[in-house]
Structure 1
Amino acid sequence: MEAYETEEQQVEAIKSWWKENGKAVVIGGVVGIGAILGWKYYQSSQITAKETASAAYERALTALQASGADAVESTQAFIDANKSSEYASLAALQLAKVQVEAGQLENALEQLNWVASNSKDESLTAMAQVRSARIQAEQGNFDAALATLANVKPASWAARVAELKGDIALRQGDIATARSSYTEALQAGMNQAVQMKLDDLAE
């Protein structure tokens, strides 16, 4: 910093600096304050939107639990209105469950395929894919079911995928593949139920 001989020189230097830079300082301050206020508003609006979606999801879920397949329209309306939210994926999964229980397998598949294509949550995507594969296997579309399972990525779902592959192989009469898949499922951490399936296939 330069040394000034008198206080007057220092004051004049400050005035000169302010004259040259004051406008930029003011603009910078206004922009900075605006950015902070804008960010706070954005955060607040995001919280409000999430709370609103959460409350709407609870209402949709309550309607599904109370009315089952009769609540399809209201649940679908919620999904359509909240497509960018994971609440829509959760609602679609619940709707698919209700539709399976009502024997509406094709409608359930549509919901599950939508979740698999639109959810940003890897676990929800995997859940939708595994459930889709179960429905496809139930319909006898074994090749389609296996193709769906091939798209399941999270390692945490490896055991469920292997078990379902074993179930499909067993229904196709391929005992060797079923045995291999059940063994894989056990190694990946599946429970006693899989061990019982494997025991039933003991040579």
Structure 2
Amino acid sequence: MELYDSEEQQVEAIKDWWKENGKAVIFGAVIGLGGLFGWRYYQDSVLQGQEAASEAYTSVITSLQTQGADAEASIQTFIDANKGSEYSVLAALQLAKVQVEANNLDEALAQLEWAKANSKDDALKAVTSYRIARIQAEQQNYDGAIAELELIKDPSWAGRIAELRGDISLRKGDEAAAYAAYTEAQQAEDASQTLQMKLDDLAK
């Protein structure tokens, strides 16, 4: 570091340094503050967008609950307008549920396939795959249903997966495979209360 003989020399050195570097310092400060305020604005915008999507989701789901299939057009509009958001995936799941209740299985399956393809959440993907498998089993696409169940890797689904495999085996007329699957399902943490009844029916 250069040594200065007097305060005057230090002042002159600072002035010279500022002449050479002052513009760069100011520019850097402006960029830094601009970036900070820009980031905050971006965060505020994202938060406002999320809040708006949340309110719109609540509104369309309320309509779906009160109007059923009659609200299908409005919820589809919401889904189309919010692609890229998990709210659209949740809405598709709810719409598929209503479509299943109305026995529109092909439409429900299409909604669930879309939801699975567009969700970034592993938990939602597991829910979606399970519901797809149930519809496929209902449509007697048993191989497709089993393949879909194999996509679910979360161990917390083990009981439900084994039970549905048992249901599928029973529909195919394979009582031995059904009994084995139900017995396996009973050992899982998420075992349903209906399993014993199903096992009892097979034992008769």
Taking structure 1 as the reference length, the TM-score comes to 0.93
Corresponding residue for residue 157 of structure 2: 157
The residue matched to 1:5 in structure 2 has which SS?
coil
Corresponding residue for residue 46 of structure 1: 46
Structure 2 residue ranges without an equivalent (≥5): none
Structure 1 residue ranges without an equivalent (≥5): none
Corresponding residue for residue 192 of structure 1: 193
What residue identity is the alignment partner of 2:199? Answer: L
Whole-angstrom distance in 1 between the partners of 2:173 and 2:14: 90
Alignment of 1:45-64 (within 5 A): 45-64=45-64
Corresponding residue for residue 83 of structure 2: 83
Alignment of 1:64-103 (within 5 A): 64-103=64-103
Give the stretch that moved more between structures: 71-80 or 10-19. 10-19
- Please say if 1:133 is aligned against 2:133: yes
1:149-169 per-position Cα deviation (integer Å, ceiling 9, x unaligned): 122232322222121111111
1:98-155 per-position Cα deviation (integer Å, ceiling 9, x unaligned): 1111111111111111111111111111111111111111111111111211222323
The residue matched to 2:4 in structure 1 has which SS?
coil
- Please say if 1:5 is aligned against 2:15: no
Q: CA deviation at 1:186?
A: 2.5
Q: CA deviation at 1:179?
A: 2.4
CA RMSD of aligned residues (A): 1.6
What residue identity is the alignment partner of 2:195? Answer: V
Corresponding residue for residue 169 of structure 1: 169
Give the stretch that moved more between structures: 61-70 or 183-192. 183-192
Q: CA deviation at 1:182?
A: 2.0
Whole-angstrom distance in 2 between the partners of 1:104 and 1:86: 24
Q: CA deviation at 1:91?
A: 0.7
Whole-angstrom distance in 2 between the partners of 1:159 and 1:29: 59
Give the stretch that moved more between structures: 142-151 or 72-81. 142-151
What residue identity is the alignment partner of 1:96? Answer: A
What is the count of residue pairs matched by the alignment? 203
Whole-angstrom distance in 1 between the partners of 2:164 and 2:147: 12
Whole-angstrom distance in 1 between the partners of 2:3 and 2:176: 90
1:156-200 per-position Cα deviation (integer Å, ceiling 9, x unaligned): 222221211111112112223222222332333113322432344
Distance verdict in 2 for CA 1:7–1:135, change over 3 Å:
same
